[in-house]
Chain A
Amino acid sequence: MNVKKALILVSLIILVLTLSAAFTSSALGHYPLPLSGVRWLASWYLYTTLNPQYPKFTAMSPEAVTAIVWDYRGLDTLFETAVFFLAIVGALALMRGISLKSLAESNETTTEGAGSGLSLISKTAAKLLTPLIIAVSASIALHGHLTPGGGFQGGSAAAVAPLLLLVIFSVYFLLRRGISEKPMLTLRTAGLLGIYLTALAVVFTGLVTGVNAYVFQNQPKFDAPVGIPAYLFNTLVSGSLFLFNLSEYLAVAGGFTLVFILLSIPEELVMSLIRGEEHE
């Protein structure tokens, strides 16, 4: 054991020394910066992300990361969302046929102790925190086009609230209050529908008005003069970025909550269901 510890220590020291030697002798390049041929791209993003003087180039959002994620490389983000949705579809398919509602109903009468949750102190803290988490996550998502954050980040933060209730109260507490797989699936589908409609909104407008338009278009471009308005009631909403963030927030919050609820199904229930089907 001591030999193992000594080996770990020595290898760590060697790693640190090698890296420092490599940096000082500039074996990793003079500075760990991107090449000058790449850097103009970053300056271009920073120059055009909120620049009303160039209305055909700008994304009208001061937050360049959100602008890149949902405008400059919007389709890529759409496929990321699709991958996440497919993962949740897979989880649902694995757990098909297991009714959480009957689980919640049977728990009220039979199992003793289960479903009573942690102590009163933990429950009180959770009650105080849950609305706070929802509020913070909503601000992360809805200010995603102004400050660091966005739909995915806000949705992940929002999913912490049901996770907290799930651990501190119990899954039956959530199910009895209607936070079960069906409403969460509805929320997730509504979010995805929002993303879909936002991505196609400008195309529909172009078709109706008879001008050129692109999928995932945000602001008007040179050959496509329509776009989603950047200001709503004199407030900067950055066109499609706000709508994408809102939809992604709903979709991710619903999706993660769904997965957490599915993961908390007791193994006995799943196994008994599988065995029951085999005998019949």
Chain B
Amino acid sequence: MNVSEELVNQVLMIVGTGMIVVGALADLVASIGMLRFPNFFVRLHAATVGTIWGAFVPLLGAAFFAAGYSELGPYRWFVAGGAVVTAFLILLLGPVGSHALARASYKSRAAVPKPLIYDALSEKLKEGEEK
């Protein structure tokens, strides 16, 4: 293994570790938010911070780390590929899940939307555009 390849591996592992640390911090922040925020819609924001910053980012970090960890041999691409696919799925599904939760709780009036600045959905529901 030559020097430049070694350097690339080192950089990949450092970046990956950094992303995992960021993810751990984001998870801490999100869990504090889940405990301390006042109502459902604001807590949902904290939950999505936990999914994107606390799961998507560290999974990409794990992929980078695995790609740079040459001791694993060719198996590191399996680990990195799995992590990237999982990260992509979380990126796709996290927002959809929180969207469906927020919409369902709004329509069923299970939670009071507060703090509310502008309510476009209620106008649409009155007009009958969306059911």
Q: Please, which residues of chain B bring their CB within 8 A of the CB of A122?
A: 96, 99-100
Q: Please, which residues of chain B bring their CB within 8 A of the CB of A113?
A: 131
- Which residues of A55-113 are within 8 A (CB) of B? 113
Shortest distance in angstroms between A13's beta carbon and chain B's nearest beta carbon?
A: 21
Given contacts A113-B131, A116-B131, A119-B130, contact A125 B93 (CB under 8 A): yes
* Interface: B36 (CB within 8 A): no
* Interface: A121 (CB within 8 A): yes
Closest to A118 in B: B100
Shortest distance in angstroms between B40's beta carbon and chain A's nearest beta carbon?
A: 18
Q: Please, which residues of chain A bring their CB within 8 A of the CB of B100?
A: 118-119, 121-122
**Number of residues of chain B lying within 8 A (CB) of chain A:** 10
Give the complex CA separation of A143 and B104 in angstroms: 39
How many A-B pairs fall under 8 Å by CB? 22
A128 touches B131 (CB 8 A): no
Closest to A123 in B: B96
B96 touches A121 (CB 8 A): yes
A125 touches B92 (CB 8 A): yes
How does the 8 Å CB contact mask read for B94-131 relative to A, with 1 for contact and 0 for none?
00100110011000000000000000000000000011
Q: Please, which residues of chain A bring their CB within 8 A of the CB of B130?
A: 119
A118-B104, A119-B100, A122-B100 known; 14 new pairs, CB 8 Å cut-off, are A113-B131, A116-B131, A118-B103, A119-B99, A119-B103, A121-B99, A122-B96, A122-B99, A125-B92, A125-B93, A125-B96, A128-B92, A129-B92, A132-B89
